[in-house]
């Protein structure tokens, strides 16, 4: 993670193909198993996120989708009334294939200058828990924590 909370960068190596990682970050049946129960779906130029109870946790524009290498979209934490009042930020996933059946996944959460509560919420353990859960799920077939 960068020291400046307005631009946070996380990287993890995952034993998976770019296509497997892409599916895991864009398909609700995967995201619910590692992303705090959120059903995240990318359809056309929108990304939506729904909580376990069906409430809308996020609904934003997709800025760039280059399957299976790069996905960038808006982020607004609608699940929390205080964070929902903040300016939208941006999340970018970059998948780089490496030798030996491994990919480096980079997640950049930036444009957080107008969203200090969101920046604090997702910093450190926030994104690290999500990425650890994603890695564990893809490599073992089991979620990091029981669902």
pTM of this prediction?
Answer: 0.93
Confidence at residue 99, expressed as pLDDT on a 0 to 100 scale: 96
- Report, at the CATH architecture level, how domain 8-140 is classified: 2-Layer Sandwich (3.30)
Q: Which pLDDT score is estimated for 3?
A: 44
Structural domain boundaries of the chain?
A: 8-140
- Strands 102-110 and 89-98, bridge-based pairing: antiparallel
Give the residue from 119, 115, 49, 60 showing the smallest Cα distance to 86: 115
What pLDDT, on the 0 to 100 scale, is given for residue 128? 95
- Terminal-to-terminal C-alpha distance of the chain: 27
Mean pLDDT by 10 residues, the chain (147 residues): 75 98 97 96 96 97 98 96 97 98 98 96 93 98 86
For residue 82, count CB atoms less than 10 angstroms from its CB and return exposed for 0-12, middle for 13-18, buried for 19 or more.
exposed
**Mean pLDDT of the chain, nearest integer:** 95
Say how far apart CA 143 and CA 33 lie, in whole Å: 6
């Amino acid at each position: 993670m960068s020291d400046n909370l307005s631009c946070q960068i996380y990287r993890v190596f995952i034993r998976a193909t770019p296509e497997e990682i892409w599916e895991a970050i864009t398909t609700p049946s995967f995201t619910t198993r590692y992303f705090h129960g959120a059903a995240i779906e990318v359809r056309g130029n929108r990304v939506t996120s729904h909580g376990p109870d069906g409430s809308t946790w996020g609904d934003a524009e997709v800025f760039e989708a280059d399957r299976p290498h790069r996905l960038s979209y808006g982020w607004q934490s609608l699940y929390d009334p205080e964070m929902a009042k903040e300016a939208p930020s941006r999340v970018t996933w970059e998948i780089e294939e490496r030798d030996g059946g491994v990919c480096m996944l980079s997640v950049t959460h930036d444009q957080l200058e107008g969203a200090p509560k969101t920046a604090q919420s997702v910093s450190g353990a926030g994104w690290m828990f999500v990425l650890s859960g994603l890695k564990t799920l893809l490599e073992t077939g089991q979620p990091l924590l029981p669902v």
